[in-house]
């Protein structure tokens, strides 16, 4: 699994008008190629009367699945620019459709490339680019006498804590970055002088906070 990757937060839509033509950018995070294809088909059905529904997607840890479609626009003027925007922004697991309603003014090849580029950028802005970082669950089980110190140290180091269970002991669900999990476990052992029970859990992606 990748340590970190950029994708989109949620489905988003944004419209721009260029020389009387409406360009509607649709962006969405997708988990598989099948999901990307289904999204594109959904937009095509929604905008069945549009002049064009041009699209592109990139899916996979190593960008294994990539496809673009000009949907009737001159070759290389629509699908490719959309795909290049996805690549240039370093996004993964993303599908974008730019719908065009022709306004009566021809744009030419250069104008179309710019228009579909702008449409793709608009879609990404609407969907909200985010960075997902790989974390690992580490459960730290301690006696109540250690909890105050543990809580303070975790806060001071900025370790993500996602839940505390209070029974006869205290069980803290910590989410250090996956690459730091072993070091974190050693630190917890030292901090509690070996009096904690530490269990590793699953790896999962957490969205990185941005200021």
Output the DSSP codes for 55-94: EEEEESTT--EEEEE-TTSSTTSSHHHHHHHHHHTTB-SE
State whether residue 179 is helix, strand or coil: helix
What is the residue whose two structure tokens read 């200021």?
211
Q: Going residue by residue through the chain, which has 211 residues, state the pLDDT in tens, using 9 for 90 and above.
A: 889 999 999 999 999 999 999 999 999 999 999 999 999 999 999 999 999 999 999 999 999 999 999 999 999 999 999 999 999 999 999 999 999 999 888 899 999 999 999 999 999 999 999 999 999 999 999 999 999 999 999 999 999 999 999 999 999 999 999 999 999 999 999 999 999 999 999 999 999 865 4
The CATH architecture assigned to 4-127 reads 2-Layer Sandwich (3.30)
The full set of domain ranges for the chain reads 4-127, 131-207
CATH class of 131-207: alpha beta
First to last CA, the chain: 26
Q: CA-CA-CA-CA torsion for 149, 151, 154, 156, nearest 10 degrees? A: -80
Count Cα atoms within 13 angstroms, Cβ side, for 157: 17
């Amino acid at each position: 699994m990748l340590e970190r990757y950029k994708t989109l937060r949620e489905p988003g839509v944004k419209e721009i008008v260029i020389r009387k033509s409406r360009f509607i950018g649709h962006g969405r995070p997708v988990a598989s190629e099948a999901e990307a294809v289904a999204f594109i088909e959904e937009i095509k059905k929604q905008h069945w009367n549009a002049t064009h529904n041009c699209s592109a997607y990139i899916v996979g840890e190593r960008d294994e699945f990539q496809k673009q479609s000009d949907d009737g626009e001159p070759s290389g003027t629509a699908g490719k620019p959309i795909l290049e925007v996805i690549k240039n922004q370093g996004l993964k697991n993303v599908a974008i459709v730019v719908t065009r309603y022709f306004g009566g003014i021809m744009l030419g090849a250069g104008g179309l490339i710019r228009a579909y580029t702008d449409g793709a950028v608009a879609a990404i802005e609407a969907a909200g680019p985010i960075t997902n970082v790989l974390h690992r669950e580490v459960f730290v089980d301690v006696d109540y006498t250690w909890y105050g110190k543990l809580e303070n140290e975790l806060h001071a180091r900025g370790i993500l804590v996602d839940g505390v269970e209070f029974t006869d002991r205290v069980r803290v669900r910590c989410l250090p970055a996956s690459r730091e999990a072993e070091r974190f476990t050693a630190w917890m052992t030292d901090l509690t002088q070996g009096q904690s029970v530490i269990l590793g859990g699953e790896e999962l992606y957490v969205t990185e906070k941005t200021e």
